[in-house]
Amino acid sequence: MADPSGRPPHSVRTLDPRSLRALAHPLRIRILGALREYGPSTASRLAERLHESSGATSYHLRQLAAHHFIEEEPGRGTARERWWRAAQQGTELGDIEEFFRHPDAEVRGALMLLMHEVATTHVRELHTWLSTVHDWPGEWWQASALSDFTLRLSPELARELNERLHALVESYRERAAEGEQTARFRVHLHAFPRADD
């Protein structure tokens, strides 16, 4: 079912080298993440949320719009204050090998910057949870997890595991409840090989 804006409930954009380079800036990544998580906003509201200047957020909003990551929120704002929303609710790389082996060093650098920024965001969110855990009711402590697992897998089995984990998480979008007992619930997935040492 589509949302009132006409977008599918969880639309995903597949990056190409050009759009990857456009997104690969720490503040752009944070702005896009904030619009996806908290909904439409203005440059000044984003500046306050992200502890940046409104000039910086305004500039990077225009860059994101030029590359179709965001769009103006219809029916809101004025000539002086524009409201922006995410054009898609997710981003994926598609064939990551294309980026790792790309002949343009800027594309490879943009990939590494994007991946490091995502990892930094995950760490920041985890630290925020741990520093505020006592502000939450006990049932949320019980519903949270910090887990890690070491498996011996082939690349094919690792890919299958990731696909099944993603499908499982996506299945909960449709089951999401509304109401007093719900909260935004972040699920981070980090899956990578490690040397035996």
> What tens digit of pLDDT does each residue of 104-151 get?
999 999 999 999 999 999 999 999 999 999 999 999 999 999 999 999
- Dihedral sign from CA coordinates of 75, 24, 123, 48: negative
| Residue numbers in the chain where pLDDT is lower than 50 | 1-6
- Percent helix, strand, coil in the chain (nearest 5)? 55, 5, 40
Q: What is the CA radius of gyration of the chain?
A: 19
Q: Which of 8, 9, 36, 32 is nearest to 20 (CA)?
A: 32
Structure-block tokens of residue 195: 């040397």
Q: In which element (H, E) is residue 12 found?
A: strand 12-14
Indicate whether this model's pTM tops 0.75. Answer: yes
